[in-house]
Amino acid sequence: MITAYVFITVPAKHSGGVVEELQKYDAVKEAAAVYGETDVIAKIQVENLVEIDQLVMDKIQANSCVTVTRTFITVKDLSWER
């Protein structure tokens, strides 16, 4: 299992709609609007890199409100979760 965080930039007042849309995708385990340079952060879990490509490139970036995405893949042996 690959875990990654996708930082998503959207125009002002569009964060809520993007967070809501992310609920449609099973690979998105958590999403939140945040303060700062990035507007939305989504935690995703997939089986392989092809699934990351499909989710980020074909689905998330297809949203007309999304202007920029940055994807950070976790280091499997250097992470933990409660």
| Residue 80 belongs to some domain of the structure | no
| Residue 82 belongs to some domain of the structure | no
Model confidence pLDDT, tens digit, residues 27-82: 999 999 999 999 999 999 999 999 999 999 999 999 999 999 999 999 988 988 88
- The CATH number for 46's domain is 3.30.70.920
Model confidence pLDDT, tens digit, residues 3-18: 999 999 999 999 999 9
- The boundaries of the domain holding residue 7 are 2-75
The pTM of the whole model exceeds 0.85: yes
Q: How confident is the model at residue 80, as a pLDDT? A: 85
**Domains: count for the chain:** 1
How many whole angstroms separate alpha carbon 63 and alpha carbon 42?
14
Q: How confident is the model at residue 79, as a pLDDT? A: 86
| Residue 44 belongs to some domain of the structure | yes
| Residue 81 belongs to some domain of the structure | no
How many other C-beta atoms lie within 10 A of the C-beta of residue 48? 10
